[in-house]
């Protein structure tokens, strides 16, 4: 993003004072209409990139700018603390809010909602010296957990002995406190943990991740806004149909597929090394639960799985499977013809493991990677 597209801040996101238009200049005498987009103080990498008091990009920012282009409107970001987003929608202070879910807002009926774009896999992570957690119930009631201010974590809040949360303004700041040893654990999305480790010189986080659930990512148009919901959501559907959501995610190094198991699976977590060994035929069983039944999809989903999670090309992965099958030392994953068929198999077979596009991950499935 060029300098004229950057947002100058004075103190955090709330000091944001403007954004130059990405669109061509309007005709003489014409004033370009605005698309006012809520910019939450709780966003950090990879959803918003802030360097030297400037917002330089991030998935949420780039998504809004792309929608502005399609709508032929200049994008005007409206910086708000997370606690004021709902009130701002009711008051008509903005026209679009992304990175949202009907479960997160006080008045979901005040918005017109998009379809789910993808899911946000949530994990617990520790310091490099923190005792690993195999189950959520292993978390001690006095173990401090870094969290984002005003975020709700139903899985943690349901623990019978409670949990000790230590709030920060955003998930990336919670991870920073964890790395500095100020908390024992932290909760964030896999996207945020990956971005933190990529950008921090010495991240200091544990290698293990404990998945605790996932939340849907939606965009929403306030009914009190100034732009028709049909126009905004129509433009968003165009981005989805043209594959631009996945392209924006990849530009921010966000995975577009997830390794998942069904609701009856004995596995609550799987390391990246275990996943790679299973899908390369170098590991046939896991300590808990026995031998997984590996499932696969073809086409673009296989390419995304190979490149994003396995760090290989699809051709290389197929070659590995062929060699494993020929030598008899490994098993080729069973290839299914659709995401629906793979999800059905996951629900029917507790030992099945497979991968799905993030927009196909249903609420009852468990994300492992």
Same domain as 156, residue 238: no
Q: ω into residue 46 within 30 of 0, thus cis?
A: yes
307 and 341 inside one domain: yes
CA 140 to chain centre: 27
pLDDT at 71 over 60: yes
What value does the mean pLDDT take over residues 222-238? 98
Task: Give the pLDDT confidence score for residue 9 in this predicted structure.
Answer: 37
Q: Please tell me the distance from the alpha carbon of residue 274 to that of residue 285, in angstroms, as a whole number.
A: 10
User: Which of 204 and 196 is assigned the larger pLDDT?
Assistant: 196
Number of continuous H segments (helices) and E segments (strands) in the chain:
11, 17
Q: Are residues 185 and 74 in the same domain?
A: no
263 and 344 both lie in a single domain: yes
Q: Tell me: do 206 and 246 sit in the same domain.
A: no
Residue range 297-318, pLDDT digits in tens = 999 999 999 999 999 999 999 9
Q: Are residues 208 and 287 in the same domain?
A: no
Q: Give me the CATH number covering residue 185.
A: 3.40.190.10
Cα(226)–Cα(141) distance, integer angstroms: 47
In a shared domain, residues 130 and 42: no
How high is the mean pLDDT of the chain? 87
- pLDDT band of residue 74 (cuts 50, 70, 90) is very high
Q: Same domain, yes or no, for 272 and 230?
A: no
Considering only 5-19, 100-114, 322-336, which range has the smallest mean pLDDT? 5-19
147, pLDDT greater than 90: yes
Taking 90 as the threshold, does the pLDDT of residue 295 lie above it?
yes
**What's the predicted TM-score (pTM) here?**
0.82
202, 224, 251 - which closes a domain: 251
pLDDT > 50? residue 28? no
% of the chain surpassing 70 pLDDT: 88
Q: Which domain holds residue 274?
A: 257-367
Do residues 86 and 157 both lie within one domain? no
Indicate if 98 and 232 belong to the same structural domain. Answer: yes
Residue 110 sits in the same domain as residue 239? yes
Are 265 and 338 part of one and the same domain? yes
Averaged over 244-258, what is the pLDDT? 93
pLDDT at 325: 64
Number of domains in the chain: 3
């Amino acid at each position: 993003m060029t300098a004229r597209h950057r947002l100058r801040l004075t103190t955090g996101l709330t000091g944001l004072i403007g954004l130059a238009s990405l669109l061509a200049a309007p005709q003489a005498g014409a004033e370009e209409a605005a698309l006012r987009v809520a910019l939450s103080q709780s966003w950090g990498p990879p959803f918003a990139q802030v360097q030297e008091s400037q917002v330089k990009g991030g998935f949420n920012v780039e998504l809004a700018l792309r929608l502005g282009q399609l709508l032929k409107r200049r994008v005007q970001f409206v910086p708000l603390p997370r606690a004021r987003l709902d009130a701002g929608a009711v008051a008509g202070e903005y026209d679009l809010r992304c990175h949202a879910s009907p479960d997160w807002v006080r008045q979901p009926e005040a918005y017109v909602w998009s379809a789910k774009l993808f899911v946000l896999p949530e994990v617990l992570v520790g310091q490099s010296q923190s005792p690993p957690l195999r189950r959520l119930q292993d978390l001690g009631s006095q173990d401090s957990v870094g969290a984002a201010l005003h975020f709700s974590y139903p899985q943690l809040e349901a623990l019978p002995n409670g949990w000790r949360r230590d709030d920060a303004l955003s998930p990336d700041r919670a991870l920073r406190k964890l790395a500095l040893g100020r908390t024992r654990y932290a909760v964030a999305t896999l996207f945020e943990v990956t971005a933190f480790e990529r950008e921090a010189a010495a991240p200091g986080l544990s290698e293990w991740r404990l998945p605790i659930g996932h939340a849907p990512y939606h965009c929403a148009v306030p009914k009190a806004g100034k732009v028709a919901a049909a126009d905004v959501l129509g433009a968003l559907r165009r981005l989805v149909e043209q594959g631009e959501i996945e392209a924006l995610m990849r530009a921010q190094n966000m995975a577009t597929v997830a390794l998942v198991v069904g609701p009856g699976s004995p596995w609550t977590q799987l390391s990246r090394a275990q996943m790679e060994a299973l899908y390369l035929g170098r590991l046939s069983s896991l300590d808990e639960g026995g031998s997984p039944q590996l499932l696969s999809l073809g086409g673009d989903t296989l390419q995304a799985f190979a490149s994003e999670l396995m760090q290989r090309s699809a051709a290389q992965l197929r070659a590995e499977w062929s060699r494993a099958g020929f030598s008899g030392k490994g098993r080729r994953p069973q290839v299914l013809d659709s995401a629906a068929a793979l999800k059905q198999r996951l629900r029917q077979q507790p030992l099945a493991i497979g991968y799905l596009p993030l927009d196909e991950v249903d609420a009852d499935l468990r994300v492992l990677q």
